[in-house]
Amino acid sequence: MYKEIVLPAEWENQSFLQLTFPHDNSDWKYLLNEVTACFVEIIKTTALFQDVLVVCDDIERVNSFFTSTKNIWFVQVESNDTWARDHGGITVIEHGDAVIQDYIFNGWGAKFDATLDRQITKKLFEKGTVTSCYLKSFDFVLEGGSIDSDGKGTILTTTECLLSKNRNEQFSKSDIENHLKENFGANQILWLNSGYLAGDDTDSHIDTLARFCDAKTIAFVGCENREDEHFEALQQMKKELQRFTDSKGKPYKLVELPMPDACFDEDGNRLPATYANFTIINGAVLVPVYGVSQDEKALEILHQCFPDRKVIGVNCRVLIEQHGSLHCVTMQYPEKVKLNK
């Protein structure tokens, strides 16, 4: 018997992973070679484990970066940028059927143009790229990076993002919570009020700060350096997490991830490096690394969280130049959604 609506956890079996490939009409123009190499590594690594759908501006151009396209599928759709986690569809299982929910993506609270990005999910349906599922559109602003699900009715999120200006300010916190419960089948919403990363322009997406590793475990970004600007906020976030309980009233096992050494852009602005922005795929966990001393420790910690999966570091130093990381450029689709190959 299926529950009426379930938002699957990321560790559940997937059909494919979506990425939206960078191009020279995106904000990546000045770093296009470097970011292209990063995307190619993510795609090739994922393709060792499962199918990958690559949304691209020019199939011939993007295909040229791959010597083998086994398990890699291309679809030509225009885009503004590359953040598939936030413009991608969010899939739920409703009465046993896969339903891709298409929310409004407005460039993280009207900060950036997303005219093309917000049309991508509908275009995938129009082109027949995805099958065995339904499309449901909502007049509601929501990004995939702002929520995390344990697959059992609990959603983790932040007030900083979901209650921010230029998203759904016409709705109260209670209204938004009711929407999440009604449309994701949630029985519990865990709101973090503290925690941020310098340089993050998503208004504290949960996938930069704290993530479910299983229904009983949350990995989160810690900060032990009192001189770091994040110290107070992340200590407060840790205390909040310690007060959270699962649907059975039991506290979570909390796993603290290190704070990477500070990374800066050429103008001296701090960039939002975080190990919480990992991506779970079939049989593996892809972890962003940044060429800093904490990389190995982060990989070891996450290997303990995912003992049955390969834990693979991917150099994502270039991605944080545009204020996102590995999870931000990917969106998983559960096994009930099929690619039209």
Q: How far apart are CA 95 and CA 39, in angstroms?
A: 35
User: Residue 117 has what pLDDT?
Assistant: 98
pTM exceeding the 0.95 threshold for the entire prediction: yes
pLDDT of res. 264: 97
CA 195 to mean position of chain CA atoms? 17
Q: What is the pLDDT of residue 3?
A: 60
CB atoms within 10 A of CB 269: 11
Query: What is the pLDDT tens value at each position of the chain, 341 positions in all?
Result: 346 999 999 999 999 999 999 999 999 999 999 999 999 999 999 999 999 999 999 999 999 999 999 999 999 999 999 999 999 999 999 999 999 999 999 999 999 999 999 999 999 999 999 999 999 999 999 999 999 999 999 999 999 999 998 999 999 999 999 999 999 999 999 999 999 999 999 999 999 999 999 999 999 999 999 999 999 999 999 999 999 999 899 999 999 999 999 999 999 999 999 999 999 999 999 999 999 999 999 999 999 999 999 999 999 999 999 999 999 999 999 999 999 98
Distance CA 210, CA 219 (A): 6
For 335, the domain range is: 5-339
pLDDT of res. 341 = 85
- Location of structure tokens 């925690």: 195
What is the enclosing helix (H) or strand (E) of 86?
helix 84-87
Beta-strand (E) ranges in 28-109? Answer: 51-56, 72-76, 90-94, 97-104
Distance CA 280, CA 98 (A): 19
How many whole angstroms separate alpha carbon 282 and alpha carbon 264?
33
User: According to the model, what pLDDT value does residue 2 have?
Assistant: 45
Return the pLDDT at 1.
35
Tell me how far apart the 2 most distant CA atoms of the chain are, in Å: 56
Q: Give the count of domains, the chain.
A: 1
Distance CA 265, CA 277 (A): 19
Q: What is the CATH number of the domain that holds 230?
A: 3.75.10.10
- In angstroms, the CA 62 to CA 218 distance is 36
- Cα separations in angstroms, 11 against 293, 313, 333: 28, 17, 11
Q: What is the pLDDT of residue 72?
A: 98
Tokens linked to 233: 């906020």
> Residue 208: which H helix or E strand, with range?
none
